[in-house]
Amino acid sequence: MTRPFLLRGIRRYGAGEPVNLLVRNGLIAELGASVDGTGAEIFNGGGLVALPGLVDLHTHLREPGREDTETIATGSAAAALGGYTAVFAMANTDPVADTAVVVEYVYRRGRDIGLVDVHPVGAVTAGLHGQRLAELGAMATSAAAVRLFSDDGLCVHDSLLMRRALEYACGLGGVIAQHAEDPRLTAGAQAHEGRVAARLGLAGWPPAAEESIVARDCLLARDAGAALHICHVSSAGTVELLRWAKRRSIRVSAEVTPHHLLLTDERLSGYDPVNKVNPPLRTAADTEALRTALAEGIVDCVATDHAPHAAQDKDCEWSAARPGMLGLQTALSVVIATMVQPGLLDWRGVARVMSERPAQIGRAADQGRPIAVGEPANLVLVDPDATWTVHGVQLASLADNTPYEGMELPGRVVLTMLRGQVTTEDGKVQG
């Protein structure tokens, strides 16, 4: 049994009077607790906003296979420092997470490290080859209890295979997370198809490559009565398709990344591959539509697509560079800058899009819970008035490919707690 912990003077969801919150045996034991007589360790949270621990549906931890760029340990540390208490680790590792053995390895490693709950995502197709289904059932019934399946990095583009995947996953109580990209339309693509790519001489990635797959998959999900999740929505057109599907009660959910909320293809003019990402940064009209859709709930949640890459895969010419950017330690600040400061979301809304909805979509039952007595003490305390300057080398990830290098961002994670254990405090990993 661990010593009780008292968070003094915190503001739940940034609203109402400050309260003292007592944590005992991993649970929220009391709200409005007295400071005296509990024997608790006291943390002074005066003025800090308390949110349920953040949940990331889309993290690349790179272990097994590319431990030079990230490990489950370093990625877990980055996540906890960013305010997360759970992450979903994508399947495009080496070996691919397409069997019970690999997902159990990732799950157990995450549990042993203990900084965040690591939920392995299972591949949809064996080896991510898009030819035949992976062992969805074996992964679902393994110790890792996989419920989210994705070939992310690649699209499940064969429509019959996608249909079967949706049907199988539905039977397992799971969801297929689609990386929506018609590969025929993006062969050789390097940047959003538009004015900037034309000026820079980069082959274009048309929004229709995403939108056509989203439209098709919504129809397949409708017919199967199955749950579909759309990864990293990047275009205004996709938002309209999601609106159409949700109005018809099709079981579709969607995520947007912090970088697609903030950055546009105007960043590409210096040809710095740190800005290369898949799907690509698009236009200001797209970021605008994505912010509105997130506020309205048409896009359900924020997911980082945290994608660490080795220096040699980023410090090279544009066409040779790998797509992807770090995201775990900067996500909350970017959401504050793009959604809270402009008045599109309040803190309750942040809890919804960064904790509650992702936990529901990923079927992580004890995450994304209300800050209420009897609930698991998965919490993050945020200083809403602080700012910080991003330096890639100071981030916990092994890689340093952040697009926010040198930028001053609002909001600072002060403390993260997983089931009553402090995982990070003042920018330092605990324990």
Catalytic residues: 305
Would you count residue 415 as binding ligand DOR (CB under 6 A)? no
Work out how close the CB of 25 gets to ligand DOR at its nearest, in angstroms, rounded to a whole number: 38
Phi, psi of 10 (to 5 degrees): -85, 160
In terms of CB distance, is 11 or 157 closer to ligand DOR?
157
CA distance 110 to 263: 31
Contacts of 260 (CB under 8 A, 6+ apart): 232, 233, 234, 279, 281, 282, 286, 287, 290
Would you count residue 418 as binding ligand DOR (CB under 6 A)? no
In terms of CB distance, is 60 or 157 closer to ligand DOR?
60
CA distance 391 to 152: 28
Work out how close the CB of 427 gets to ligand DOR at its nearest, in angstroms, rounded to a whole number: 26
Work out how close the CB of 278 gets to ligand DOR at its nearest, in angstroms, rounded to a whole number: 4
From 253-261, 289-297, 318-326, 378-386, span contacting ligand DOR (CB under 6 A): 318-326
The site for ligand DOR, by CB under 6 A, has a size of 12
Selected from 99, 278, 330, 338, the binder of ligand DOR by CB under 6 A is: 278
Site string for ligand DOR, 65-104 (x = CB under 6 A): ---------------------------x------------
Residue 409 · residue 387 · CB < 8 Å: yes
In terms of CB distance, is 75 or 153 closer to ligand DOR?
153
Work out how close the CB of 90 gets to ligand DOR at its nearest, in angstroms, rounded to a whole number: 7
Would you count residue 257 as binding ligand DOR (CB under 6 A)? no
From 116-124, 222-230, 322-330, 352-360, span contacting ligand DOR (CB under 6 A): 322-330
From 184-192, 242-250, 320-328, 372-380, span contacting ligand DOR (CB under 6 A): 320-328
Position closest to ligand DOR via CB: 324
* SS3 letters across the chain: CCCCEEEEEEEECCCCCCEEEEEECCEEEEECCCCCCCCCEEEECCCCEEEECEEEEEECCCCCCCCCCCCHHHHHHHHHHCCEEEEEECCCCCCCCCCHHHHHHHHHHHHHHCCCEEEECECCEHHHCCCCECCHHHHHCCCCCCCEECCCCCCCCCHHHHHHHHHHHHHCCCEEEECCCCCCCCCCCCEECCHHHHHHCCCEECHHHHHHHHHHHHHHHHHHCCEEEECCCCCHHHHHHHHHHHHCCCCEEEEECHHHHHCCHHHHHHCCHHHCCCCCCCCHHHHHHHHHHHHHCCCCEECCCECCCCHHHHCCCHHHCCCCECCCCCHHHHHHHHHHCCCCCCHHHHHHHHHHHHHHHHCCCCCCCCCCCCCECCEEEEEEEEEEECCHHHCCCCCCCCCCCCCEEEEEEEEEEECCEEEEECCEECC
Would you count residue 151 as binding ligand DOR (CB under 6 A)? no
Would you count residue 179 as binding ligand DOR (CB under 6 A)? yes
Selected from 77, 218, 221, 277, the binder of ligand DOR by CB under 6 A is: 277
Would you count residue 120 as binding ligand DOR (CB under 6 A)? no
Would you count residue 106 as binding ligand DOR (CB under 6 A)? no
Would you count residue 174 as binding ligand DOR (CB under 6 A)? no
Would you count residue 323 as binding ligand DOR (CB under 6 A)? yes
Would you count residue 152 as binding ligand DOR (CB under 6 A)? yes
From 65-73, 130-138, 316-324, 359-367, span contacting ligand DOR (CB under 6 A): 316-324
Work out how close the CB of 57 gets to ligand DOR at its nearest, in angstroms, rounded to a whole number: 13
Q: How far is CA 101 from CA 106, 143, 303, 389, in A?
A: 9, 10, 26, 41
Would you count residue 307 as binding ligand DOR (CB under 6 A)? yes
In terms of CB distance, is 307 or 361 closer to ligand DOR?
307
Would you count residue 153 as binding ligand DOR (CB under 6 A)? yes
Selected from 120, 174, 273, 324, the binder of ligand DOR by CB under 6 A is: 324
Give the footprint of ligand DOR on residues 287-306 (CB under 6 A).
305
- Kindly list the residues in this chain that would bind ligand DOR in the complex (CB under 6 A): 60, 92, 152-153, 179, 277-278, 305, 307, 322-324
